[in-house]
Structure 1
Amino acid sequence: METPNLNYVNELSGQNGQFRMKIISIIKKELPFEVEMYDSYMQQFDFFNAAQSVHKLKHKISILGLEKSYYLAVDYEHNLKNDSITLKNDFEVILKTMLDFVVKL
């Protein structure tokens, strides 16, 4: 299992600590809401909108340096668009890992 990191955020922000903190703040604010939306759609068996949520979450996955997880999310998004929940458990482990990481920032 990959470990989330801030390598991309650090690279993107360079020496600008204020910009770095702004990015982290946005991630901390948006990630829980986006995960909550995904969960809500899955509880309703609304796979179309769940796929849209996964699409948005892919960007957070990438920003947190989870390259392999990003590709899993791509496949999972495709599965949801085809009314399949294959990879659901793996994807949700990624979400939990990300949430745990973000809480500690």
Structure 2
Amino acid sequence: MTEQPNLIYIKKLSGEDKAFEEKFIAIIKAEFPLEFREYLGYVRDRRYKETSEIVHKLKHKLNILGLEKSYRLAVQYEEDLLNADTRLEQEFNLILKNIEDFIKNI
């Protein structure tokens, strides 16, 4: 079973402040699709350094969405990309697709 994104961290961070929580979620919903598209473009073009940089940005969203194992995979993938090693690409893509599905429904 794969990890499932959640809002636990955001709810703790907001401390019952619904406006803050909604604003935080809105930022993720706005940024994630753009970063995901950017990532896919870099992967397609085999631009490993740029892919590594966008993975660096995306991995923080993994942490925010409670995906601890996925975050650790992203850290490794980010490092691997600097050596043009894409062995974790498919697994990382599945994580991003999972997040994409999740944010469409929150």
TM-score in terms of structure 2 length: 0.98
Please give the alpha-carbon distance, in whole angstroms, between the structure 1 residues aligned to 2:30 and 2:7.
Answer: 16
Gapped regions of structure 2 (runs ≥ 5): none
Question: 2:5 aligned with 1:4, yes or no?
Answer: yes
Paired residues, what number?
A: 105
How far did residue 8 of structure 1 move? Answer: 0.2
Q: Paired residue for 2:24?
A: 23
Q: Paired residue for 2:104?
A: 103
Q: Paired residue for 2:74?
A: 73
Please give the alpha-carbon distance, in whole angstroms, between the structure 2 residues aligned to 1:89 and 1:41.
Answer: 14
Q: Over the residues paired in the alignment, what is the CA RMSD in angstroms?
A: 0.4
TM-score in terms of structure 1 length: 0.99
CA offset digits 1:60-90 (Å, max 9, x no partner): 0000000000000000001101111011010
Q: Paired residue for 2:33?
A: 32
Please give the alpha-carbon distance, in whole angstroms, between the structure 1 residues aligned to 2:89 and 2:46.
Answer: 12
